[in-house]
Amino acid sequence: MAQEKRDYYETLGVGRDAGEDEIKQAFKRLARQYHPDVNKADPEAEAKFKEINEAYEILGDREKRARYDQFGHAGPGQGFGGFDPGAGSGGFGDLRDLFDMFMGAQRPRHGPEAGADLAYDLELSLEEAFRGLKRTIAVPRIETCETCRGSGAKPGTKPERCPRCQGTGQVRSVQSTFLGQVQTVRTCEHCGGAGVIIAERCPDCRGAGRVRRQRQVEVSIPAGVDEGTRIRIAGGGEAGRRGGPTGDLYVIIRLKPHPVFQRRGRDIIVSQPIGFVQAALGAEVEVPTLEGQATLRLPEGTQSGTRLRMRGKGMPDLEGRGRGDQHVQVIVVTPQGLNEAQRAALREFARLGGDQLSEADRTLFQRLRDVFGA
């Protein structure tokens, strides 16, 4: 039985949402690690290298990657099954790619190149995170020049093919060495690897084809966001090159510390001071919540430090699965500044046995006496 082929994303050690640059960097790192010339003592290095190259040949090509994401290894017309050492579209099939990688050369790109993703930290209060809202933010980013529509040339003109490299962006030369004739490739110095020459540059972008602008972007923030929540805005990043797609904008939520509430996931924690009589006899008290004041019932004999739950008074769930709870930690406040009548009432309370400890309290008190020798 044939061995099941590994998932290409797993082979390169990247997630299925990895961008082109991340996939490329992962491939280069693994290719250097497992290249047979570097790992001559490892009999599995060559097979591993072929597996890495095959994965990159698919994931490094947008159309092939899209088909693979939809159909997997068994996709129609994919040809995923074998490694073609002569293929030059993806991995290191072309020997020039190997030479470039190990000799440090960089080959210019002439096809569409995706724009960079951007990140924006957005600070919110806990109340804003509780309610959700729409917020307009100013995002500085690189955009396609509207004057030249990305060509870099002055309106009415257009870029011309580089006469030195004939539009390839590369200059090839052949040198004789003790190993024979070696062909080297370097970036064309005349056009900088672009393959075209701009005789008259656009006055706005100065030939770059892109300009930096500050764009107003409206962000819809759902109720229940937490620290570190990322909101993706497709196409909100920087413009691509040579007709490439625009990157994405990721708005990262940062929550301000709150003077009253603490957040633990979907739950809210708050401290509530209560009086001695309220704790002893039980009472209904008003406590703050993210929606305003709410009534909490204190049971008779409530002890300081007791935590009571108010169900459904916490943060909303981002996926719409209800709300968390609010936990109220009560703190019994000892009265101060008593007048004579109050003191007399407390003495009478004590005389009637009100200051007697429960059995559990007496046991704890005895332990403390035993430990400290009091």
| pLDDT exceeds cutoff 70 at 195 | yes
The closest of 56, 53, 57, 68 to 14, measured between CA atoms, is: 56
Lowest mean per-residue pLDDT among 35-39, 281-285, 340-344, 349-353: 35-39
Residue 229 pLDDT level (bands cut at 50, 70, 90): very high
Higher pLDDT, 135 or 169: 135
Residues 6 or more apart whose CB falls under 8 angstroms from that of 106 comprise 100, 187
R_g of the chain computed on alpha carbons = 35
Q: Residue 61: is its pLDDT beyond 70?
A: yes
269-307: per-residue pLDDT in tens? Answer: 999 999 989 999 999 999 999 999 999 999 999 999 999
Q: Looking at the predicted structure, is the pLDDT value of residue 125 above 50?
A: yes
Residue 181, exposed/middle/buried by CB under 10 A (0-12, 13-18, 19+)? exposed
For residue 363, is pLDDT > 70? no
pLDDT surpasses 80 at 179: no
Mean pLDDT of 80-106: 42
Q: What's the per-residue H, E or C state across 80-134?
A: CCCCCCCCCCCCCCCHHHHHHHHHCCCCCCCCCECCCCEEEEEEECHHHHHHCEE
Band (331; pLDDT cuts 50, 70, 90): very high
Strand partners, 161: 196
What span, in angstroms and rounded, lies between the C-alpha atoms of 223 and 218?
A: 16
Whether residue 88 has pLDDT greater than 90: no
Q: What average pLDDT does range 52-72 have in this prediction?
A: 86
Residue 360 predicted with pLDDT over 90: no
- Can you tell me the distance from the alpha carbon of 358 to that of 356, in angstroms, rounded to the nearest whole number? 7
Specify the pLDDT at position 84.
40
Confidence of residue 138 (pLDDT cuts 50, 70, 90): very high
User: Residue 191 corresponds to which tokens in the numbers above?
Assistant: 């056009």
For tokens 């407390």, the residue is 346
Higher pLDDT, 365 or 70: 70
For residue 262, what pLDDT band results from cuts at 50, 70 and 90?
very high
Q: Could you tell me which residue, 253 or 28, shows the higher pLDDT? A: 253
Q: Cα(297)–Cα(181) distance, rounded to whole angstroms?
A: 91
The Cα–Cα gap between 150 and 145 comes to: 5
Q: Pick from 50, 53, 51, 52: which is nearest to 90 by CA?
A: 53
- For the question of whether the overall pTM of this predicted structure is more than 0.75, the answer is no
Average pLDDT over every residue of 357-363: 55
Higher pLDDT residue, 354 or 61? 61
Query: What six digits make up the tokens of 90?
Result: 């993806």
